[in-house]
């Protein structure tokens, strides 16, 4: 069965490296029989701020406005703004989601953060009563495809920027794993703006090669919530080199819970 792919793209320039990476993804995945849809956030003029304007009709408590609660109620009653419901519909239909963006201040551009804030609403994408356990997206794969401003040497365990696993942890674990997606290893393009033209070409060719087998890749492993609820389970890791979560370490070997592919 043909797969449906959603690419959430956050870059303003059609001549950027990010645009080239996005275009290659569309080309390669379409050639494999996938239906590919792109949410070009800047072209769409996507609203980045989560406000009461996202909710149609009256608010439950306008004086003490809570976006978390009001958006959940609006989702349940079909009163979210049209731009949100359109993106939620795309997510519901997608088998694979790729986020293509440049790293801004060790995170995502504001417009993409706004997409996460507004589209992944309480009830639709996650449950406070069942954190890390809502099954809405359990069969969907997702990945980050990101360009950095610094070379790989600055994101290693002894680099000034720190381990890239730590940098990506809030996005991969705190947002996507929290919402129940199956995460594929991120594609990190190390400082393309600083690279020679030939090196940028090699980066894109490597991406093209990976895309050809992307649909068959196995997802990363994240420690399930129940492991953190049992004191006896946690005690097994006391004194060991790697922890349960981001696997911060001081030696060179990479943990089996690393978020990066080998």
Q: CATH number, domain at 47?
A: 3.40.50.360
pLDDT of residue 248: 46
Question: Cβ atoms within 10 A of the Cβ of 118, count?
Answer: 23
pLDDT of residue 132: 87
pLDDT of residue 129: 87
Element spanning 82, H or E: helix 82-93
pLDDT in tens, the chain (262 residues): 679 999 999 999 999 999 999 999 999 999 999 999 999 999 999 999 999 999 999 999 999 999 999 999 999 999 999 999 999 999 999 999 999 999 999 999 999 999 999 999 999 999 988 888 888 999 999 999 999 999 999 998 889 999 999 999 999 999 999 999 999 999 999 999 999 999 999 999 999 999 999 999 999 988 777 766 655 555 555 566 655 555 444 444 555 556 676 5
Question: Cβ atoms within 10 A of the Cβ of 43, count?
Answer: 11
Overall number of domains in the chain: 1
Task: Tell me the residue range of the domain where 170 lies.
Answer: 4-219
Residue 114 in domain: yes
Residue 143 in domain: yes
Burial of 112 (0-12, 13-18, 19+ CB in 10 A): buried
Does residue 9 contact residue 109 with C-beta atoms inside 8 Å?
Answer: no
DSSP conformation letters of 185-218: PPEEE--GGGS-HHHHHHHHHHHHHHHTTGGGPP
Structure tokens at 170: 């809030």
Does residue 25 contact residue 145 with C-beta atoms inside 8 Å?
Answer: yes
Residue 237 in domain: no
Cα–Cα distances in Å, from 186 out to 10, 146, 162, 211, 259? 16, 8, 17, 12, 8
pLDDT of residue 246: 57
- Give the chain's radius of gyration (CA, Å): 19
Residue 212 in domain: yes
Residue 184 in domain: yes
Residue 180 in domain: yes
pLDDT of residue 67: 97
pLDDT of residue 200: 97
Q: What residue ranges in 51-178 does DSSP mark as E strands?
A: 96-102, 141-147
Does residue 75 contact residue 121 with C-beta atoms inside 8 Å?
Answer: yes
pLDDT of residue 250: 40
Residue 231 in domain: no
Residue 176 in domain: yes
Cα(171)–Cα(147) distance, integer angstroms: 15
């Amino acid at each position: 069965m043909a797969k449906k792919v959603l690419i959430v793209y956050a870059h303003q320039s059609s001549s950027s490296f990010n645009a080239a990476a996005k275009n290659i993804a569309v080309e390669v995945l379409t050639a494999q029989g996938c239906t590919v849809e792109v949410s070009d956030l800047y072209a769409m003029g996507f609203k980045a701020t989560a406000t009461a304007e996202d909710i149609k009709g009256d608010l439950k408590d306008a004086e003490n406005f809570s976006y978390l609660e009001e958006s959940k109620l609006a989702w349940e009653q079909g009163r979210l703004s049209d731009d949100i419901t359109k993106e939620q519909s795309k997510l519901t239909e997608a088998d694979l989601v790729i986020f293509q963006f440049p790293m801004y201040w060790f995170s995502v551009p504001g417009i993409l953060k706004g997409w996460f804030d507004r589209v992944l609403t309480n009830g639709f994408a996650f449950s406070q009563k069942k954190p890390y356990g809502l099954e809405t997206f359990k069969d969907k794969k997702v990945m980050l495809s990101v360009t950095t401003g610094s070379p790989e040497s600055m994101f290693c365990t002894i680099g000034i920027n720190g381990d890239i696993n730590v940098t990506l942890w809030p996005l991969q674990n705190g947002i996507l794993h929290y919402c129940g997606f199956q995460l594929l290893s991120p594609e990190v393009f190390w400082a393309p703006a600083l690279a020679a033209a030939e090196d940028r070409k090699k980066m894109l060719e490597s991406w093209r090669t990976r895309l050809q087998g992307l649909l068959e890749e196995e997802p990363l492993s994240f420690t399930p919530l129940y492991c953190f609820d049992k004191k006896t389970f946690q005690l097994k890791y006391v004194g060991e080199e790697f922890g349960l979560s981001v696997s911060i370490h001081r030696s060179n070997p990479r943990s089996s819970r690393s978020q990066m592919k080998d």
